Amino acid sequence: MALIELRDVWKIYDLGEVKVEALKEATLQIEQGEYVALIGPSGSGKSTLMNTLGCLDRPTKGSYKLAGDEVSTMSRDQRARLRNQRLGFVFQNFNLLARTTALENVELPLLYARGVSARERRRRAIDKLTLVGLADRLDHHPSQLSGGQQQRVAIARALVNDPAILMADEPTGNLDSKTSRDVIAMFRQLNEKQGLTVILVTHDQDVARNARRTIVLRDGRVVADTQDFAQALAALQAKIEEPVMGAELAE
């Protein structure tokens, strides 16, 4: 059984007079331990797909199973519990609480987990901050940390519940090139050494190249799903041929 299984998934936003088909007939499987990049031009549906996979939104139609559980029929509260138990999120803007220490930021998801004592929260948060190389920054606030250090805190927070899947949405978007490489190296290490499933959305080809599998979206559809990054780039760069005016008359 695949960890993630999407079958004929559509996401349609009803904007009144206009309906936007953000995802169309999306079908894919992701196994435990994979490292997958989602790429595509602006408006291609990659963020909508990430939100669907992350249980932040549910499909308009189609089936989405996460570890065998059908997500498309779950309530908002059920999806929230599933996110807390199985998923960790890293975002471009870090989303740290400004007046809270690194340690307290990492502890935050555990406040929503039942049966975790204050002592256990602290122990687990320290473990994850140590894992990302910030054992000496526990009491620092975000304003006292560099951008790379803030993203490391965010990664530690995403890992503190020991999720099955780490989801990252443009995780290097606010980082310089060296720090970006460090963060992506960390993702790869988590994938290879701990077997963590990693799914990331990125517009950066150098970041996407590090994944072992690339899914390319265009106009809401999956147009390529490959382990060959050259093929993924070809699909990304392919132009949709427009009919030439008057071509029918010329035939």
Which pLDDT tens digit goes with each residue over 85-102? 899 999 999 999 999 999
Quote the tokens at residue 121.
């929260």
Residue type, 57: D
**H or E element in which residue 87 lies:** strand 87-91
Which pLDDT tens digit goes with each residue over 17-44? 899 999 999 999 999 999 999 999 999 9
Using alpha carbons, select from 215, 219, 202, 170 the residue that is nearest to residue 28. Answer: 215
Mean pLDDT of the 140-169 span: 96
Q: For residues 69 and 121, what is the distance between their CA atoms, to the nearest angstrom? A: 28
Task: Say whether pLDDT at 239 is over 80.
Answer: no
Which domains occur in the chain, in start order?
Answer: 4-238 (3.40.50.300)
Of all residues in the chain, the percent with pLDDT exceeding 90 is 88
Quote the tokens at residue 2.
């695949």
Q: Is 27 helix (H, G, I), strand (E, B) or coil?
A: strand
Question: For position 115, what pLDDT does the model report?
Answer: 83
Question: For position 1, what pLDDT does the model report?
Answer: 81
Residue type, 251: E
Which pLDDT tens digit goes with each residue over 57-84? 999 999 999 999 999 999 999 999 899 8
